[in-house]
A and B are shown apart, each in its own frame.
Chain A
Amino acid sequence: MAGIKALLTLSFGAAVGLMFLTLGCALPVYNKYWPLFVLFFYILCPIPYCISQRVADNLDGGSSACKELAVFLTTGIVVSAFGLPVILARAEAIAWGACALVLTGNTVIFATILGFFVVFGSNDDFSW
């Protein structure tokens, strides 16, 4: 069991990341809730990798076309989560300060999700 400490660190990371996202929306000087759309990308992000771990039986830790496709799609989701706030700021729907806060929150959240998979994901039978 990877330990309570890891779980604690990861949940703290998630809380800090969501805090940055919320600040980027809810601070009175910004007060625009468009950046909440990146939550969609946060939720989508682990899905391709989880599907590929279920579908392609992981033989001896070797790679497979399915896993690589999952990595490709996950990278795309991460890039999109960074691109959306920048586009919103360029379109002047949100302020650049809000964009910076959301990008910081993105970085922390994706580091947390990555940390979750590194710490908890390397089971042989990845089952719910």
Chain B
Amino acid sequence: MSGFLDSIRCGDCECSAVDWGERRNTMASIAAGVLFFTGWWIIIDAAVKYPQQESFNHAYHACGVIATVAFLMINAVSNGQVRGDSYSEGCMGQTGARVWLFIGFMLAFGSLIASMWILFGGFVVPQKPVVYPGIAVFFQNAFIFFGGLVFKFGRTEDLWQ
């Protein structure tokens, strides 16, 4: 039973003709760019449609800002520096890289959870007449979070010189 999907093939499409090895990093960068910037444009749209403080409390923007800081922190260190096998030690060495990455991921998860809290605690539960800004905050942070993950883990450092 456990292997019953093994024989299903996804269709030998021409995707194998594309040299996935070499293109992987470029594709991951493009996907991450689309996700990250779409997230920001969603919140810009919400801010333009609902400029008043009553319908969209401006403090909720902090969530997306922290998510962006987390994105930058996570992608500032390479996996090689964390494993300890890169040539240059960086400012803080391997332990410093690990602490930096830890804090970066904490901020990323924190902002994702905060966006859900904002949606439910700030818009759904008080039964605000317009819920769209809350949904926009949630989607902004979700997109930034997944963009960060794709940019960090979708690229392989084997392709770097």
Contacts and interface: CB of A to CB of B under 8 A. Distances in A.
> Are A and B genuine complex partners?
yes
Interface of A: 59-65, 67-69, 71-76, 79-80, 83, 86-87, 90-91
A116 B149 CA distance: 31
Question: Would you call the interface of chain B mostly helix, strand, loop, or mixed?
Answer: helix
Contacts of B44: 83, 87
A79 B160 contact: no
B20 interface: no
Interface of B: 22, 25-26, 28-30, 32-34, 36-38, 41, 44-45, 48-49, 78, 151, 155, 159-161
Contacts, number: 66
Given A79-B38, A80-B37, A71 B26 contact: yes
Question: Would you call the interface of chain A mostly helix, strand, loop, or mixed?
Answer: helix
Contact of A72 (B22, B33, B49, B159): B33
A76 B48 CA distance: 20
A76 B44 CA distance: 14
Contact of A79 (B22, B26, B28, B41): B41
B32 A72 contact: yes
